[in-house]
Structure 1
Amino acid sequence: MDHGALQTKPAYCTLVNKSDNSKYVCYSHTKAGSFNIGLTNASEVWSKDFTEDMLAEHGKNVALKSAEDYISKIRSTCGNGSASVTVQEDGAVLQLGVSPGSVSVTLPRLSDLEGREELRDLLFRMADSLKLAETTGGPSSFSPGKSQFRRNAGFEPRSQQTGPTVVAKKRLPGDSLINPGSRKKKPATGVAFDDNDDL
């Protein structure tokens, strides 16, 4: 494995387990010289640290050479719905993809105290990641599964005109619809002849 293969930015994605529609947040980050892959359903946490040697050994069978390769695999499988979780008594198996080419990672369950600390740290890392994305204007490392927050251009508000605007005049009663500004002509009523005028 290349030198520095563990160095990577934190990454997050959501995962919906097709078997029971349960939702998870799958995350990864570098801490204390190891690459961590974690999973939580907001009440329980499963997590595993990989040293460079462990990652290299695990990646031999699945052709993943670095932490970035793992992150890419996690994001793509969460995004296309091919990731799944099998919860066991003392851990969880994260299945990334379908055979052939699938990757299976067993994550031990953290104790309640460790889980609370990990959830707190995860929350602050996600907040820092979002803040960094806002200040730099770049994409955040949060990647929701199935593109839940993708904007649809058909429903975006129309941009406002920057040129002069024309204000329509209010039509007064009797004004012509075809030729605005001119009054409607009243129909002819005829001429009234008075017999008394001839006398």
Structure 2
Amino acid sequence: MAEPAGPFHVLRAGPGRFLCYCRPGGAVYVTDAMEVWAGDLGGCPAFGCPCPPEEHGAMLRAALGRGAAELSLGPRSATLRMLEEPRCPAVALAQLPAAEARSQLQALVFGMAGCIETLERRLEAAVETLASSCSPQKNTAQSQQLFLPDPSPRKNRAAGSALPAKRKVPGESLINPGFKSKKASSGVNFEDS
């Protein structure tokens, strides 16, 4: 059995939580980890939806991602509604027999475990790459540089160009740059007081 494609979304119906995911080919599954309900997006025209199954699947995934889907449970069936899409209001889900539900749950668990294992490997590789490319001192400086602005007046990062460094001109005021004193400084005269 193929692993579930995802993405995975948690839905609430009454006091319970349910996991919803889609598989390639237009199948949608909902489970509470005990029972499984399944539906086919190709069966959408029975509900009067004018869109093709691929588009309906994309709309369902988007609605699930925004939290704009609602699950209603009935005896041996369920209905998944897209609250914001009046053209394609619902998908009918049928409760799977126990043996088929068990194999779906097994595929779901191992599929999610495979996703977690892949993510862990990618994270370890990224950490190793970062650690090997920088010494601890450089690593600290780079991580601080990510969060702190560049204090250097020589670079204007917003404009993307380097500005020339300002030179100190003799006689120019430090407080008011550009203003030059009219007479040369002679020091302090203590005799006039």
Q: TM-score, normalised by structure 2?
A: 0.52
Partner residue of 2:141?
161
1:22 maps onto 2:16 in alignment: yes
Structure 1 portions without partners, runs of 5+: 1-8, 138-158, 164-199
Distance 1:135 1:56, change over 3 A: farther
Distance 1:76 1:21, change over 3 A: farther
Post-superposition offset of 1:73: 2.1
RMSD of aligned alpha carbons: 3.3
Tell me how many residue pairs correspond in the alignment: 125
C-alpha distance in 1 between matches for 2:122 and 2:35:
33
Partner residue of 1:127?
113
Percent of pairs with identical residues: 21
For each residue in 1:97-134, what CA deviation from the matched residue of structure 2 results, as whole angstroms up to 9, or x when unmatched? 33524431111101222211110011112233344456
Off by >3 Å, runs of 4+ in structure 1: 54-60, 129-137
Q: How does 1:4-19 map to 2 (within 5 A)?
A: 10-17=5-12
Q: How does 1:6-85 map to 2 (within 5 A)?
A: 10-17=5-12, 20=14, 22-30=16-24, 34-49=25-40, 54=42, 57=45, 61-66=49-54, 69-85=55-71
C-alpha distance in 2 between matches for 1:56 and 1:20:
25
For each residue in 1:79-114, what CA deviation from the matched residue of structure 2 results, as whole angstroms up to 9, or x when unmatched? 222111111101111112335244311111012222
C-alpha distance in 2 between matches for 1:123 and 1:62:
35
Partner residue of 1:146?
none
- SS, match of residue 117 in structure 1: helix
Structure 2 portions without partners, runs of 5+: 124-138, 144-193
Answer 1 or 2: higher relative contact order, Cα 8 Å, separation at least 6.
Answer: 1
Q: TM-score, normalised by structure 1?
A: 0.50
